């Protein structure tokens, strides 16, 4: 059986890893109370804590991109995570009074990555099962 190309998904996943690396650097060095961006206010500890998670996500994306079919489950995890983030971000910006709209552009970029993951995964022949249920292998 010939597999369809997942190269566009792998490239998109790698690029989103770069995006998460940028976010990590921003959270670790720029975002936090008393830093350049402190609206909404966040304690520097939590900013660095979030930055460390972004580095982990970026690492997973970089390495998964080199064998995207095998690590399609990581794509599914990021689809869930980015979707939750975008929904939460815009819900807060719309429903919480005085919540700053500082990060509206990140919602657009993360939403775009989520859509591209799904489009390229399905066009590449991956199904819901490959994205959201890890394949079981026999030892």
The verdict on residue 52 lying in a domain is yes
Query: Model confidence over 17-37: pLDDT tens digits?
Result: 999 999 999 999 998 888 888
pLDDT band at 60 (very low <50, low <70, confident <90, very high): very high
> Would residue 137 count as lying in a domain?
no
pLDDT of res. 2 = 62
Measure the CA–CA gap between 35 and 73, rounded to whole angstroms. 36
Q: Look up the pTM and report it.
A: 0.88
On the question of pLDDT at 13 being above 70, the answer is yes
Helices (H) and strands (E) in the chain, counts: 5, 0
Rounded CA separation 58/20 (Å): 5
Q: Are 44 and 33 in contact (CB under 8 A)?
A: yes
Does residue 135 carry a pLDDT above 80?
no
Range of the domain at 70: 7-129
| Residue 64 located in a structural domain | yes
DSSP class per residue in 47-99: HHHHHHHHHHHHHHHHHHHTTTTTTHHHHHHHHHHHHHHHHHHHHHHHHSTT-
The answer to whether residue 37 sits within a structural domain is yes
Rounded CA separation 117/86 (Å): 15
Number of domains making up the chain: 1
- Asked whether residue 110 is domain-assigned, the answer is yes
38 inside domain: yes
Query: Domain for residue 134, yes or no?
Result: no
CA distance 128 to 54: 25
> Residue 73 class from Cβ within 10 Å (0-12 exposed, 13-18 middle, 19+ buried)?
middle
pLDDT computed for residue 65 by the predictor: 97
Least confident stretch, 50-59, 68-77, 127-136: 127-136
Q: What is the mean pLDDT of residues 111-128?
A: 96
């Amino acid at each position: 059986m010939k597999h369809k190309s997942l190269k566009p998904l792998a490239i998109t996943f790698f690029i989103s890893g770069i995006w998460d690396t940028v976010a990590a650097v921003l959270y670790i060095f720029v975002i936090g109370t008393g830093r350049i961006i402190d609206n909404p206010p966040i304690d520097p500890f939590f900013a660095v804590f979030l930055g460390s998670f972004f580095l982990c996500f970026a690492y997973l994306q970089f390495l998964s991109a080199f064998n995207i079919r095998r690590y399609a489950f990581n794509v599914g995890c990021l689809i869930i995570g980015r979707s939750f983030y975008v929904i939460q971000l815009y819900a807060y910006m719309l429903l919480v009074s005085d919540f700053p709209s500082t990060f509206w552009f990140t919602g657009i970029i993360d939403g775009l990555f989520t859509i591209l993951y799904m489009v390229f995964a399905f066009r590449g022949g991956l199904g819901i099962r490959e994205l959201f249920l890890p394949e079981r292998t026999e030892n």
